[in-house]
Structure 1
């Protein structure tokens, strides 16, 4: 190539390179600007998959904002960092960190693309002031896996506490785009509609599935087990506590045991309540057809009804997870309150904390 021609082509070449660098920078940092609140929460996104992203949504950004891409062959991994007190996992393939506005509902959507396959999910979080979180994303076979943890430094050690992922949406964004569809409007209740809905709920797939296990609530803490747990705790504490403390300790264990034993029934109640709410938006004619009161219909062959009932199955299992997580959280709160009441933490570093 003649020197003159080469020189004439340099401006165009520089333009292409500059554009590419700008695109790389945009992909690394995304469009999301960290919260400037002095008590902003911090979140780390750790991904083991290729081309992983976590996008941010709130009431003012219903169309979403990007934070960058991780583990892309052509783009250097993000260097977004916000000075979190707990270090990233040693084997983390790629991660980024952002600041979130505290005490505000935000929706985070995670996505990955490997070859021709895509996988992802979204969840809602209301970050606490000054809190730190970590979201880990992995792909096992054809299934995406998301884990949310609260990060803390306790007595000089890193503590990761798993949190329940809530797949809720953002009411402020309903109807703005396909990500946040407008919920159906419930029709007015009437005695006839209520009876039809109850008939459908009582014979739903969830009720049938749990009929044989709903009363199967084994006791995990028989008296001898309670005695053993209390003896172990006494040995760990190493100093005398009043009898009232140990009586309350025993009662808290019993309350926890009973709550765990009833978690399936409580999850079923939530699923049934949700199913009732969803059926309230269905017109009378369709309810009659599904309930079998319409002579021209087969009560169990309606594809739309089967689809609705199948959609309740993941809701039910999610409800079970939520009930168990709430049960554990309530147990920790009771135990922490007990140890605070008896001033245990000032003498025993591994006291119950919430």
Structure 2
């Protein structure tokens, strides 16, 4: 009985192996073709990755972004070849399962690394849009400085105080970014006040003529001086002029020279830049000065005193 059971066992194994061998021999041509497809797509993926890398390195400032996109493209081409090979072998269910599994895994990774993924996508999007480049002066979310590096997850900005600020890409992608380098020019505003006794038009003309002599002023015909309003002790003016940015003269230096020049010009033309002045008015309706009120009180006091003496003598 035992020998019969063992014989049946070996017969079953033999039949199973034979069926596998027959199926293998039957599908051997398809397996060879599928293997050739995988090899061909592997070679194509490598060639396509190199071509894409060369194109992306010319298109992007960040080498990391270019390398990442070329690597993703390489993997996509290779996976496409694998799926075609599996489909050629008749493993349609396997392909569907792999795609579903990849989708679930990708979704899980996206939720687990949401912040990292958001910064990565923002970095790639900024690499395509190019709102700024390395060396540009930008301002965003309280950070003001020069862009030193653009990475996959963050951007490195060197502030004008000498510190390096590492800003996540999603912050730069979501919020307003001011790029001071794109247009190649920048406007400087200098507020100045003149006394109420001076002529506004005369002050405007002398300031304009003085600024137009400076080499760092890029648009002489757009030097403007506007009366901004009335201050406590002065008529407030706003001086506008343009400089090349970045240029031979920096923003701070140009503003310093402009303030110095405006001060010299107004002094030379006998136009006063007043300090705060306070006028004391003691009348309810205005116009009453302190010395007048004191004199009036003194006279009234003397009058009352004489009347009192007269009444006592009587």
With the length of structure 1 as denominator, give the TM-score of the two structures. Answer: 0.22
With the length of structure 2 as denominator, give the TM-score of the two structures. Answer: 0.24
By relative contact order (CA 8 Å, sep 6+), the higher-ranking structure is: 1
Higher helix share: 2
Higher strand share: 1
Structure with bigger gyration radius: 2
